[in-house]
A and B are shown apart, each in its own frame.
Chain A
Protein backbone atom coordinates (compact mmCIF):
# COMPACT_ATOMS: atom_id res chain seq x y z
CA UNK A 1 0.00 0.00 0.00
CA UNK A 2 2.77 2.34 1.00
CA UNK A 3 4.64 1.54 -2.20
CA UNK A 4 1.50 1.95 -4.25
CA UNK A 5 1.03 5.42 -2.76
CA UNK A 6 4.64 6.19 -3.51
CA UNK A 7 4.19 5.04 -7.09
CA UNK A 8 1.10 7.25 -7.48
CA UNK A 9 3.04 10.14 -6.00
CA UNK A 10 5.84 9.51 -8.44
CA UNK A 11 3.41 9.37 -11.34
CA UNK A 12 1.98 12.70 -10.25
CA UNK A 13 5.43 14.23 -10.00
CA UNK A 14 6.52 12.95 -13.37
CA UNK A 15 4.67 14.09 -16.38
CA UNK A 16 5.36 12.57 -19.73
CA UNK A 17 6.60 15.29 -21.95
CA UNK A 18 6.60 13.89 -25.49
CA UNK A 19 7.37 17.16 -27.23
CA UNK A 20 9.36 19.34 -24.89
CA UNK A 21 9.98 22.96 -25.66
CA UNK A 22 13.65 23.84 -25.36
CA UNK A 23 14.24 24.65 -21.71
CA UNK A 24 17.39 26.42 -20.57
CA UNK A 25 19.70 23.94 -18.90
CA UNK A 26 22.46 24.27 -16.31
CA UNK A 27 25.81 22.94 -17.57
CA UNK A 28 26.60 19.42 -16.37
CA UNK A 29 24.94 16.31 -17.76
CA UNK A 30 24.51 12.85 -16.26
CA UNK A 31 24.00 9.68 -18.25
CA UNK A 32 23.08 6.23 -17.03
CA UNK A 33 24.47 3.88 -19.68
CA UNK A 34 22.51 0.84 -18.61
CA UNK A 35 22.18 -2.64 -20.04
CA UNK A 36 18.47 -2.15 -20.54
CA UNK A 37 18.03 1.62 -20.76
CA UNK A 38 19.98 4.76 -21.53
CA UNK A 39 18.85 7.70 -19.40
CA UNK A 40 20.18 11.23 -19.74
CA UNK A 41 19.47 13.82 -17.01
CA UNK A 42 19.83 17.58 -17.22
CA UNK A 43 18.66 20.21 -14.79
CA UNK A 44 16.90 23.34 -15.97
CA UNK A 45 17.84 26.76 -14.59
CA UNK A 46 14.46 26.88 -12.84
CA UNK A 47 15.24 23.68 -10.91
CA UNK A 48 13.39 20.96 -12.79
CA UNK A 49 15.13 17.79 -13.97
CA UNK A 50 14.48 16.57 -17.49
CA UNK A 51 15.25 12.88 -18.00
CA UNK A 52 15.43 11.58 -21.54
CA UNK A 53 15.27 7.78 -21.70
CA UNK A 54 15.60 5.18 -24.40
CA UNK A 55 15.20 1.41 -24.23
CA UNK A 56 18.62 -0.03 -25.10
CA UNK A 57 17.36 -2.83 -27.33
CA UNK A 58 17.52 -3.73 -31.02
CA UNK A 59 15.66 -6.11 -33.27
CA UNK A 60 17.67 -7.13 -36.36
CA UNK A 61 15.93 -7.60 -39.71
CA UNK A 62 17.74 -8.66 -42.88
CA UNK A 63 17.46 -6.02 -45.60
CA UNK A 64 14.91 -7.34 -48.10
CA UNK A 65 11.94 -6.08 -50.11
CA UNK A 66 9.56 -7.28 -47.39
CA UNK A 67 11.47 -5.67 -44.52
CA UNK A 68 11.92 -2.40 -46.45
CA UNK A 69 8.21 -2.41 -47.18
CA UNK A 70 7.39 -3.04 -43.50
CA UNK A 71 9.59 -0.14 -42.40
CA UNK A 72 8.16 2.21 -45.04
CA UNK A 73 4.59 1.51 -43.95
CA UNK A 74 5.31 1.69 -40.19
CA UNK A 75 6.64 4.30 -37.83
CA UNK A 76 9.39 2.05 -36.45
CA UNK A 77 12.69 3.79 -35.77
CA UNK A 78 15.65 1.98 -37.27
CA UNK A 79 19.26 2.23 -38.25
CA UNK A 80 20.75 0.26 -41.14
CA UNK A 81 24.26 -1.12 -40.60
CA UNK A 82 26.12 -3.62 -42.80
CA UNK A 83 23.02 -4.90 -44.58
CA UNK A 84 20.87 -5.26 -41.47
CA UNK A 85 18.05 -3.06 -40.27
CA UNK A 86 18.15 -2.63 -36.50
CA UNK A 87 14.79 -1.55 -35.10
CA UNK A 88 15.67 0.50 -32.02
CA UNK A 89 14.15 0.99 -28.58
CA UNK A 90 10.64 0.05 -27.45
CA UNK A 91 9.77 -0.71 -31.10
CA UNK A 92 12.23 -3.64 -30.97
CA UNK A 93 10.32 -5.21 -28.10
CA UNK A 94 6.93 -4.48 -29.71
CA UNK A 95 8.00 -5.98 -33.02
CA UNK A 96 9.47 -9.16 -31.55
CA UNK A 97 6.29 -9.69 -29.53
CA UNK A 98 4.14 -9.06 -32.61
CA UNK A 99 6.15 -11.31 -34.95
CA UNK A 100 6.49 -13.98 -32.26
CA UNK A 101 9.90 -15.16 -33.37
CA UNK A 102 13.50 -14.09 -32.95
CA UNK A 103 14.95 -12.25 -29.97
CA UNK A 104 15.87 -8.68 -29.24
CA UNK A 105 19.61 -8.03 -29.06
CA UNK A 106 21.38 -5.70 -26.68
CA UNK A 107 24.42 -3.52 -27.38
CA UNK A 108 25.21 -3.97 -23.67
CA UNK A 109 25.44 -7.13 -21.60
CA UNK A 110 26.16 -7.53 -17.88
CA UNK A 111 26.78 -3.80 -17.52
CA UNK A 112 29.39 -3.47 -20.26
CA UNK A 113 29.45 -3.57 -24.07
CA UNK A 114 28.16 -6.84 -25.46
CA UNK A 115 31.15 -8.71 -26.96
CA UNK A 116 28.79 -11.13 -28.72
CA UNK A 117 27.30 -8.38 -30.90
CA UNK A 118 29.80 -7.44 -33.59
CA UNK A 119 28.42 -3.95 -34.14
CA UNK A 120 27.77 -3.27 -30.42
CA UNK A 121 30.01 -0.24 -30.03
CA UNK A 122 28.97 1.39 -33.32
CA UNK A 123 25.28 0.91 -32.60
CA UNK A 124 25.62 1.98 -28.99
CA UNK A 125 27.42 5.20 -29.91
CA UNK A 126 24.93 5.99 -32.64
CA UNK A 127 22.08 5.57 -30.16
CA UNK A 128 23.75 7.45 -27.30
CA UNK A 129 24.53 10.41 -29.56
CA UNK A 130 20.88 10.57 -30.62
CA UNK A 131 19.73 10.51 -26.98
CA UNK A 132 22.21 12.94 -25.43
CA UNK A 133 22.59 15.51 -28.21
CA UNK A 134 25.29 18.19 -28.31
CA UNK A 135 26.98 19.81 -25.31
CA UNK A 136 25.50 23.16 -24.26
CA UNK A 137 28.89 24.69 -23.43
CA UNK A 138 32.32 23.76 -24.82
CA UNK A 139 33.73 20.75 -22.96
CA UNK A 140 30.58 20.45 -20.88
CA UNK A 141 31.22 18.20 -17.85
CA UNK A 142 29.57 14.82 -18.26
CA UNK A 143 29.37 11.96 -15.79
CA UNK A 144 28.54 8.53 -17.16
CA UNK A 145 27.59 5.60 -14.95
CA UNK A 146 29.99 2.72 -14.69
CA UNK A 147 29.57 -0.56 -12.82
CA UNK A 148 32.05 -1.78 -10.22
CA UNK A 149 33.91 -4.97 -11.05
CA UNK A 150 31.64 -7.96 -10.40
CA UNK A 151 32.16 -10.55 -7.68
CA UNK A 152 30.85 -13.39 -9.84
CA UNK A 153 32.78 -12.87 -13.09
CA UNK A 154 36.30 -12.13 -14.18
CA UNK A 155 35.45 -8.77 -15.77
CA UNK A 156 37.48 -5.60 -15.66
CA UNK A 157 35.56 -2.41 -16.39
CA UNK A 158 38.69 -0.36 -17.27
CA UNK A 159 38.35 -0.89 -21.01
CA UNK A 160 34.61 -0.14 -20.94
CA UNK A 161 35.33 3.16 -19.18
CA UNK A 162 38.05 4.05 -21.69
CA UNK A 163 35.83 3.39 -24.72
CA UNK A 164 32.93 5.44 -23.38
CA UNK A 165 35.25 8.22 -22.25
CA UNK A 166 36.86 8.45 -25.71
CA UNK A 167 33.47 8.45 -27.38
CA UNK A 168 32.10 11.31 -25.25
CA UNK A 169 35.28 13.31 -25.89
CA UNK A 170 34.80 12.97 -29.64
CA UNK A 171 31.35 14.54 -29.41
CA UNK A 172 32.59 17.50 -27.37
CA UNK A 173 32.10 16.61 -23.71
CA UNK A 174 34.50 16.49 -20.77
CA UNK A 175 33.62 12.99 -19.52
CA UNK A 176 34.33 11.17 -16.28
CA UNK A 177 32.90 7.91 -14.94
CA UNK A 178 30.82 7.76 -11.79
CA UNK A 179 30.13 4.55 -9.92
CA UNK A 180 26.52 3.55 -10.56
CA UNK A 181 25.64 2.96 -6.90
CA UNK A 182 27.41 6.14 -5.74
CA UNK A 183 25.31 8.14 -8.20
CA UNK A 184 22.27 7.11 -6.12
CA UNK A 185 23.92 8.69 -3.08
CA UNK A 186 24.27 12.02 -4.94
CA UNK A 187 20.60 11.89 -5.92
CA UNK A 188 19.06 10.64 -2.66
CA UNK A 189 21.53 11.81 0.00
CA UNK A 190 21.49 8.95 2.52
CA UNK A 191 22.45 9.97 6.07
CA UNK A 192 24.14 8.18 8.92
CA UNK A 193 22.96 8.93 12.45
CA UNK A 194 25.67 9.02 15.08
CA UNK A 195 26.24 10.60 18.50
CA UNK A 196 27.76 13.60 16.71
CA UNK A 197 24.68 14.17 14.56
CA UNK A 198 23.88 13.28 10.97
CA UNK A 199 26.56 12.56 8.39
CA UNK A 200 25.44 13.38 4.83
CA UNK A 201 26.03 11.13 1.82
CA UNK A 202 26.69 8.14 4.08
CA UNK A 203 24.99 4.77 3.83
CA UNK A 204 24.55 1.69 1.68
CA UNK A 205 23.41 2.20 -1.91
CA UNK A 206 21.84 -0.54 -3.99
CA UNK A 207 21.31 -0.08 -7.71
CA UNK A 208 19.35 -3.03 -9.06
CA UNK A 209 19.64 -2.80 -12.83
CA UNK A 210 19.03 -5.19 -15.69
CA UNK A 211 22.54 -6.47 -16.33
CA UNK A 212 23.94 -6.03 -12.83
CA UNK A 213 23.25 -4.97 -9.34
CA UNK A 214 25.75 -2.55 -7.89
CA UNK A 215 26.38 -1.88 -4.24
CA UNK A 216 28.46 0.82 -2.55
CA UNK A 217 29.17 1.82 1.01
CA UNK A 218 29.42 5.62 1.10
CA UNK A 219 30.84 7.79 3.84
CA UNK A 220 30.63 11.59 3.51
CA UNK A 221 30.37 11.32 -0.27
CA UNK A 222 33.31 8.94 -0.67
CA UNK A 223 33.03 5.34 -1.71
CA UNK A 224 34.57 3.00 0.88
CA UNK A 225 33.64 -0.26 -0.85
CA UNK A 226 31.94 -0.94 -4.15
CA UNK A 227 31.18 -4.15 -6.01
CA UNK A 228 28.63 -5.63 -8.38
CA UNK A 229 27.13 -8.92 -9.48
CA UNK A 230 25.78 -9.93 -12.89
CA UNK A 231 22.87 -11.99 -11.54
CA UNK A 232 20.29 -9.22 -11.69
CA UNK A 233 17.15 -8.42 -13.73
CA UNK A 234 18.17 -10.14 -16.97
CA UNK A 235 19.25 -13.18 -14.99
CA UNK A 236 15.79 -13.36 -13.38
CA UNK A 237 14.16 -13.20 -16.83
CA UNK A 238 16.45 -15.85 -18.35
CA UNK A 239 16.10 -18.29 -15.44
CA UNK A 240 12.33 -17.84 -15.34
CA UNK A 241 12.16 -18.39 -19.09
CA UNK A 242 14.22 -21.60 -18.74
CA UNK A 243 12.08 -23.15 -16.03
CA UNK A 244 8.70 -22.13 -17.46
CA UNK A 245 9.39 -22.38 -21.19
CA UNK A 246 7.91 -18.90 -21.68
CA UNK A 247 10.04 -16.69 -24.00
CA UNK A 248 12.16 -14.06 -22.25
CA UNK A 249 10.33 -11.19 -23.99
CA UNK A 250 7.03 -12.31 -22.46
CA UNK A 251 8.62 -12.79 -19.06
CA UNK A 252 9.87 -9.18 -19.22
CA UNK A 253 6.37 -7.99 -20.07
CA UNK A 254 4.84 -9.86 -17.12
CA UNK A 255 7.57 -8.66 -14.77
CA UNK A 256 7.11 -5.03 -15.74
CA UNK A 257 3.32 -4.95 -15.99
CA UNK A 258 1.95 -7.49 -13.50
CA UNK A 259 4.48 -8.54 -10.90
CA UNK A 260 3.76 -7.45 -7.33
CA UNK A 261 6.08 -9.05 -4.79
CA UNK A 262 3.54 -8.28 -2.05
CA UNK A 263 0.91 -10.35 -3.78
CA UNK A 264 2.22 -13.25 -5.84
CA UNK A 265 -0.19 -15.55 -7.60
CA UNK A 266 1.63 -18.86 -7.00
CA UNK A 267 -0.66 -20.57 -9.53
CA UNK A 268 0.93 -18.42 -12.20
CA UNK A 269 4.17 -20.22 -13.10
CA UNK A 270 5.96 -17.07 -14.30
CA UNK A 271 5.05 -15.03 -11.23
CA UNK A 272 5.99 -17.89 -8.92
CA UNK A 273 9.37 -18.36 -10.59
CA UNK A 274 10.09 -14.62 -10.65
CA UNK A 275 9.24 -14.37 -6.96
CA UNK A 276 11.63 -17.21 -6.10
CA UNK A 277 14.43 -15.74 -8.21
CA UNK A 278 13.88 -12.28 -6.69
CA UNK A 279 14.33 -13.83 -3.23
CA UNK A 280 17.48 -15.60 -4.40
CA UNK A 281 18.87 -12.34 -5.81
CA UNK A 282 18.22 -10.49 -2.53
CA UNK A 283 19.77 -13.29 -0.46
CA UNK A 284 22.82 -13.19 -2.74
CA UNK A 285 23.11 -9.40 -2.30
CA UNK A 286 22.94 -9.65 1.49
CA UNK A 287 25.44 -12.52 1.48
CA UNK A 288 27.97 -10.44 -0.48
CA UNK A 289 27.31 -7.24 1.50
CA UNK A 290 28.11 -9.17 4.66
CA UNK A 291 31.32 -10.52 3.18
CA UNK A 292 32.54 -7.30 1.57
CA UNK A 293 31.54 -4.82 4.30
CA UNK A 294 32.62 -6.81 7.35
CA UNK A 295 36.07 -5.20 7.35
CA UNK A 296 34.56 -1.69 7.26
CA UNK A 297 32.18 -2.12 10.19
CA UNK A 298 34.63 -0.42 12.56
CA UNK A 299 34.71 2.73 10.39
CA UNK A 300 30.93 3.15 10.47
CA UNK A 301 30.04 4.34 13.94
CA UNK A 302 26.35 4.95 13.79
CA UNK A 303 23.08 3.81 12.29
CA UNK A 304 22.85 3.85 8.53
CA UNK A 305 20.14 3.83 5.94
CA UNK A 306 19.99 1.72 2.82
CA UNK A 307 18.78 3.46 -0.34
CA UNK A 308 17.53 1.33 -3.21
CA UNK A 309 17.00 2.30 -6.87
CA UNK A 310 17.13 0.87 -10.39
CA UNK A 311 14.60 -0.65 -12.78
CA UNK A 312 14.73 -4.11 -11.17
CA UNK A 313 13.81 -2.53 -7.80
CA UNK A 314 10.52 -1.21 -9.19
CA UNK A 315 8.50 -4.35 -8.54
CA UNK A 316 6.26 -3.41 -5.59
CA UNK A 317 7.45 -5.14 -2.39
CA UNK A 318 11.14 -5.26 -3.35
CA UNK A 319 12.35 -3.15 -0.40
CA UNK A 320 10.12 -5.05 2.00
CA UNK A 321 11.79 -8.29 0.93
CA UNK A 322 15.23 -6.76 1.52
CA UNK A 323 14.07 -5.84 5.04
CA UNK A 324 12.84 -9.39 5.66
CA UNK A 325 16.13 -10.84 4.42
CA UNK A 326 18.10 -8.49 6.70
CA UNK A 327 16.06 -9.62 9.70
CA UNK A 328 17.18 -13.19 9.11
CA UNK A 329 20.91 -12.45 9.37
CA UNK A 330 23.39 -10.53 11.47
CA UNK A 331 24.24 -7.43 9.42
CA UNK A 332 27.59 -5.61 9.93
CA UNK A 333 25.81 -2.27 10.60
CA UNK A 334 22.76 -1.02 12.43
CA UNK A 335 20.17 -0.04 9.82
CA UNK A 336 17.51 2.49 10.78
CA UNK A 337 15.73 2.59 7.43
CA UNK A 338 15.49 1.02 3.99
CA UNK A 339 14.41 3.75 1.59
CA UNK A 340 13.25 3.33 -1.98
CA UNK A 341 14.29 6.25 -4.20
CA UNK A 342 11.36 8.50 -5.11
CA UNK A 343 12.40 8.14 -8.73
CA UNK A 344 14.07 4.70 -8.88
CA UNK A 345 14.35 4.63 -12.66
CA UNK A 346 16.10 8.02 -12.83
CA UNK A 347 18.24 8.05 -9.67
CA UNK A 348 21.48 7.03 -11.38
CA UNK A 349 21.20 9.60 -14.20
CA UNK A 350 20.08 12.33 -11.77
CA UNK A 351 22.93 11.57 -9.36
CA UNK A 352 25.39 11.59 -12.25
CA UNK A 353 23.97 14.98 -13.28
CA UNK A 354 24.51 16.37 -9.75
CA UNK A 355 28.12 15.10 -9.86
CA UNK A 356 28.64 16.75 -13.27
CA UNK A 357 27.22 20.04 -11.97
CA UNK A 358 29.71 19.85 -9.08
CA UNK A 359 32.51 19.32 -11.64
CA UNK A 360 31.34 22.41 -13.52
CA UNK A 361 31.15 24.50 -10.31
CA UNK A 362 34.62 23.33 -9.28
CA UNK A 363 35.97 24.22 -12.71
CA UNK A 364 34.38 27.70 -12.55
CA UNK A 365 35.92 28.32 -9.11
CA UNK A 366 39.44 27.39 -10.29
Chain B
Protein backbone atom coordinates (compact mmCIF):
# COMPACT_ATOMS: atom_id res chain seq x y z
CA UNK B 1 0.00 0.00 0.00
CA UNK B 2 1.49 3.20 -0.86
CA UNK B 3 1.35 6.48 0.97
CA UNK B 4 -1.60 7.67 -1.12
CA UNK B 5 -3.96 4.86 0.07
CA UNK B 6 -2.76 5.33 3.63
CA UNK B 7 -3.61 9.05 3.55
CA UNK B 8 -7.02 8.44 2.04
CA UNK B 9 -8.01 6.14 4.79
CA UNK B 10 -7.11 8.81 7.27
CA UNK B 11 -9.33 11.51 5.58
CA UNK B 12 -12.62 12.47 7.24
CA UNK B 13 -16.00 11.62 5.65
CA UNK B 14 -16.64 15.05 4.06
CA UNK B 15 -13.40 14.81 2.09
CA UNK B 16 -14.57 11.55 0.67
CA UNK B 17 -17.75 13.27 -0.58
CA UNK B 18 -15.82 15.97 -2.26
CA UNK B 19 -13.57 13.52 -3.96
CA UNK B 20 -16.57 11.63 -5.18
CA UNK B 21 -18.00 14.81 -6.62
CA UNK B 22 -14.81 15.61 -8.42
CA UNK B 23 -14.77 12.18 -9.92
CA UNK B 24 -18.34 12.71 -11.14
CA UNK B 25 -17.34 15.99 -12.77
CA UNK B 26 -14.94 14.19 -15.01
CA UNK B 27 -17.91 13.02 -17.08
CA UNK B 28 -19.10 16.61 -17.72
CA UNK B 29 -18.69 17.83 -21.35
CA UNK B 30 -15.82 20.21 -20.84
CA UNK B 31 -16.06 21.65 -24.32
CA UNK B 32 -19.67 22.60 -23.74
CA UNK B 33 -18.78 24.15 -20.43
CA UNK B 34 -15.93 26.15 -21.94
CA UNK B 35 -18.21 27.43 -24.69
CA UNK B 36 -20.83 28.52 -22.14
CA UNK B 37 -18.25 30.37 -20.09
CA UNK B 38 -16.88 32.02 -23.19
CA UNK B 39 -20.37 33.17 -24.20
CA UNK B 40 -20.93 34.72 -20.78
CA UNK B 41 -17.60 36.53 -20.92
CA UNK B 42 -18.23 37.84 -24.45
CA UNK B 43 -21.70 39.04 -23.48
CA UNK B 44 -20.22 41.06 -20.66
CA UNK B 45 -17.44 42.67 -22.69
CA UNK B 46 -17.81 46.44 -23.44
CA UNK B 47 -19.80 46.84 -26.65
CA UNK B 48 -17.47 49.48 -28.25
CA UNK B 49 -14.30 47.48 -27.78
CA UNK B 50 -11.83 48.52 -30.50
CA UNK B 51 -13.60 51.86 -30.88
CA UNK B 52 -12.34 53.54 -27.79
CA UNK B 53 -13.58 57.13 -27.55
CA UNK B 54 -11.09 59.59 -26.17
CA UNK B 55 -12.78 62.48 -24.57
CA UNK B 56 -10.58 65.54 -24.38
CA UNK B 57 -11.60 68.07 -21.87
CA UNK B 58 -9.24 70.92 -22.82
CA UNK B 59 -11.18 73.69 -21.22
CA UNK B 60 -11.82 72.28 -17.78
CA UNK B 61 -10.20 74.52 -15.27
CA UNK B 62 -8.52 76.64 -17.99
CA UNK B 63 -9.39 79.73 -19.98
CA UNK B 64 -9.65 79.41 -23.80
CA UNK B 65 -6.35 80.02 -25.64
CA UNK B 66 -6.32 82.33 -28.63
CA UNK B 67 -3.51 82.81 -31.14
CA UNK B 68 -3.14 86.56 -31.03
CA UNK B 69 0.28 86.56 -32.68
CA UNK B 70 0.54 89.23 -35.38
CA UNK B 71 1.87 87.60 -38.56
CA UNK B 72 2.19 90.84 -40.57
CA UNK B 73 6.01 90.77 -40.53
CA UNK B 74 6.07 87.30 -42.12
CA UNK B 75 3.41 88.34 -44.63
CA UNK B 76 5.48 91.38 -45.53
CA UNK B 77 8.58 89.24 -46.09
CA UNK B 78 6.59 86.74 -48.12
CA UNK B 79 5.14 89.53 -50.24
CA UNK B 80 8.66 90.84 -50.89
CA UNK B 81 9.88 87.39 -51.85
CA UNK B 82 7.05 87.07 -54.38
CA UNK B 83 8.21 90.02 -56.44
CA UNK B 84 11.73 88.71 -56.95
CA UNK B 85 12.14 87.94 -60.63
CA UNK B 86 13.42 84.36 -60.48
CA UNK B 87 13.54 82.99 -63.98
CA UNK B 88 15.21 84.47 -67.01
CA UNK B 89 12.61 86.01 -69.25
CA UNK B 90 12.65 86.83 -72.90
CA UNK B 91 9.81 88.58 -74.65
CA UNK B 92 9.13 90.19 -77.99
CA UNK B 93 7.44 93.31 -76.52
CA UNK B 94 8.43 96.39 -74.53
CA UNK B 95 4.97 97.72 -73.85
CA UNK B 96 1.54 96.16 -73.97
CA UNK B 97 -2.06 97.14 -74.47
CA UNK B 98 -4.30 99.18 -76.69
CA UNK B 99 -5.38 102.66 -75.75
CA UNK B 100 -8.80 104.18 -75.73
CA UNK B 101 -9.70 107.77 -75.04
CA UNK B 102 -12.75 108.73 -72.99
CA UNK B 103 -14.22 112.05 -71.96
CA UNK B 104 -15.06 113.06 -68.44
CA UNK B 105 -16.89 115.99 -66.90
CA UNK B 106 -13.95 118.05 -65.62
CA UNK B 107 -16.04 120.20 -63.22
CA UNK B 108 -17.52 117.08 -61.67
CA UNK B 109 -14.08 115.48 -61.39
CA UNK B 110 -12.59 118.59 -59.75
CA UNK B 111 -15.38 118.59 -57.15
CA UNK B 112 -14.74 114.91 -56.44
CA UNK B 113 -11.00 115.53 -56.06
CA UNK B 114 -11.69 118.41 -53.64
CA UNK B 115 -13.91 116.16 -51.54
CA UNK B 116 -11.44 113.26 -51.59
CA UNK B 117 -8.53 115.48 -50.56
CA UNK B 118 -10.20 115.86 -47.18
CA UNK B 119 -10.75 112.15 -46.63
CA UNK B 120 -8.47 109.57 -45.08
CA UNK B 121 -8.33 106.01 -46.43
A-side interface residues toward B, CB under 8 Å? 13-18, 20, 38, 40, 43, 47-54, 71, 77-82, 88-89, 119, 121-122, 125-127, 130-131, 133, 158-159, 162-163, 165-167, 170, 176, 186-187, 189, 200-201, 220-222, 343, 346, 350, 354-355, 357-358, 361-362, 365
Q: Which of B16-24, B40-48, B95-103 contacts A (4 or more CB under 8 A)?
A: B95-103
Residues of B within 8 A of A48 (CB): 101-103
Asked if residues B98 and A53 are in contact (CB atoms below 8 Å), the reply is yes
Q: How far is the CB of B9 from chain A (nearest CB, A)?
A: 92
Q: How far is the CB of A59 from chain B (nearest CB, A)?
A: 14
Which A residue's beta carbon lies closest to that of B78?
A159
Q: Which of B28-36, B57-65, B108-116 contacts A (4 or more CB under 8 A)?
A: B108-116
Write 11 A-B pairs (CB below 8 A) sorted by A numbering: A49-B103, A50-B99, A122-B86, A125-B83, A130-B97, A166-B79, A166-B80, A167-B83, A186-B112, A200-B115, A221-B116
In the complex, what distance in Å separates the CA atom of A346 from the CA atom of B99?
11
Asked if residues A220 and B115 are in contact (CB atoms below 8 Å), the reply is yes
Which B residue's beta carbon lies closest to that of A342?
B102
Tell me if B92 counts as interface (CB < 8 A to partner A). yes
In the complex, what distance in Å separates the CA atom of A222 from the CA atom of B82?
32
Tell me if B4 counts as interface (CB < 8 A to partner A). no
Which A residue's beta carbon lies closest to that of B109?
A354
B-side interface residues toward A, CB under 8 Å? 75-76, 78-80, 82-83, 85-87, 89-104, 106, 108-109, 111-113, 115-117, 119, 121
Interface residues of A: mostly helix, strand, loop or mixed? mixed
State whether A49 and B96 are in contact (beta carbons under 8 Å apart), knowing that A170-B83, A221-B115, A362-B117 are contacts in the complex: no
- With contacts defined as CB atoms under 8 Å apart, how many contacts are there between chain A and chain B in the complex? 144
Choice from A80, A131, A189 contacting B95 with Cβ under 8 Å: A131
Asked if residues B103 and A358 are in contact (CB atoms below 8 Å), the reply is no
In the complex, what distance in Å separates the CA atom of A355 from the CA atom of B115?
10
Choice from B92, B103, B109, B116 contacting A13 with Cβ under 8 Å: B103
Excluding A81-B87, A346-B102, A361-B113, 15 further A-B contacts by CB distance (< 8 Å) are: A14-B100, A15-B100, A15-B101, A16-B99, A51-B99, A52-B99, A80-B90, A89-B97, A121-B83, A131-B97, A159-B75, A162-B76, A221-B119, A354-B116, A358-B112
Q: How far is the CB of B69 from chain A (nearest CB, A)?
A: 15
Asked if residues A17 and B91 are in contact (CB atoms below 8 Å), the reply is no
Q: How far is the CB of A79 from chain B (nearest CB, A)?
A: 4
In the complex, what distance in Å separates the CA atom of A14 from the CA atom of B100?
6
State whether A159 and B102 are in contact (beta carbons under 8 Å apart), knowing that A54-B96, A186-B116 are contacts in the complex: no
Residues of B within 8 A of A220 (CB): 115
Which residue, B97, B102, B106, B109, has most C-beta atoms of chain A within 10 A? B102
Asked if residues A133 and B95 are in contact (CB atoms below 8 Å), the reply is yes
